[in-house]
Structure 1
Amino acid sequence: MNIAFILFNGVTALDFVGVYDAVTRLKTMKFIPDLKWDLCAFTEEIVDGTGLIFTPARVKESLEPYDMVIVPGGFGTRTLVNDASFIDWLKTAENSKIKASVCTGSLLFGAAGFLEGKSATTHPNAFRELETYCTVLDQRIVDEGDLITARGVSSSIDLGLYLCEKLAGFDAKEQIRKQMDYQT
């Protein structure tokens, strides 16, 4: 399993880190020993909304080789939905088995055409924006099979654990949840 974590300027760090921490434990806790991941971006340096800097491993490379693509949210999504070059790059994830998003990352999936005919969720403040792409559900996580969306920033850990269960089963998810000391 090969995962692309998408980063962009204006990302909300917790949207990324919450899901990243849970999912990468699938490898570090030996549930999926051959799990691989990359931090992928359209620019060489990423700065979140508070000045935290990330350095992606892959820049402008096709997302086609990835089994799963995970897109966090953040205020940067509001500009990127209209950035044709970025959206064309994101569209290279079209054949990924799973596309998952946190918060307003779902807006980017919508702009890429991935939400057509589907239901999704996002932060409640962005429900109206998401309605232009799909049916919006006021739920913590919406699973449409190959496309999974999570609500606001705090749902990032929920999405990570949800993906752990989807990939490795309930027992693996529970062991990871307990190791993270995450209360249900």
Structure 2
Amino acid sequence: MRMAYVLFDQMTTLDFAGFYEAVTWVGILGAKERVSWDFCSNKEQVTDDRGLSINIQPQLVCPDLSGYDLIFIPGGQEGDHQSIGI
């Protein structure tokens, strides 16, 4: 399973971190083989709703999301199509 975490300005990091924690345990416990994920964004650095800045690997800025099995978009203050960039 290929997953994309879509990160954007004004997202709520706790929403992202809670889901990310659960998914990493799926791999650690071997409950699902070959789980992989990428962190995606419409820019190289995003700032969450509390001012925390997160840097994104440049090759995953504005990726084509059609190749993913699951796309996770955390909650946030500005979570519309324009701010998310998809």
Tell me, yes or no, whether TM beats 0.5.
yes
- Unaligned ranges ≥5, structure 2: none
Over aligned residue pairs, what C-alpha RMSD do you find? 1.8
Structure-2 separation of matches of 1:84 and 1:76: 6
State the structure with bigger RCO (CA 8 A, min sep 6), 1 or 2.
Answer: 2
Deviations 1:142-179 (A, max 9, x none): xxxxxxxxxxxxxxxxxxxxxxxxxxxxxxxxxxxxxx
TM-score by length of 1: 0.43
Aligned partners of 2:44, 2:56: CA distance in 1, in Å? 7
Cα distance change, pair 12–85 in 1 and its aligned pair in 2 (3 A): closer
**Cα distance in 2 between the residues matched to 1:55 and 1:24:** 20
Q: CA deviation at 1:64?
A: 0.8
Q: Measure the CA separation in 2 of the matches of 1:5 and 1:70.
A: 5
Q: Flag the structure with larger Rg.
A: 1
Name the counterpart of 1:54: 54
| Alignment-mate amino acid for residue 75 of structure 2 | G
- Spell out structure 1 runs of 4+ moving beyond 2 A: none
Amino acid in structure 2 at the alignment position of 1:39: F
How far apart, in 1, do the equivalents of 2:84 and 2:21 lie?
29
Aligned identity (percent) is 32
Higher normalized helix content (fraction of residues): 1
Q: Shift of residue 28 of structure 1?
A: 1.7
- Equivalences, count: 84
After superposition, the Cα gap between the structure-2 partners of 1:85 and 1:37, relative to the gap in structure 1 and judged at 3 Å, is: closer
The one-letter amino acid paired with 1:61 is P
- What's the counterpart of residue 9 of structure 2? 9
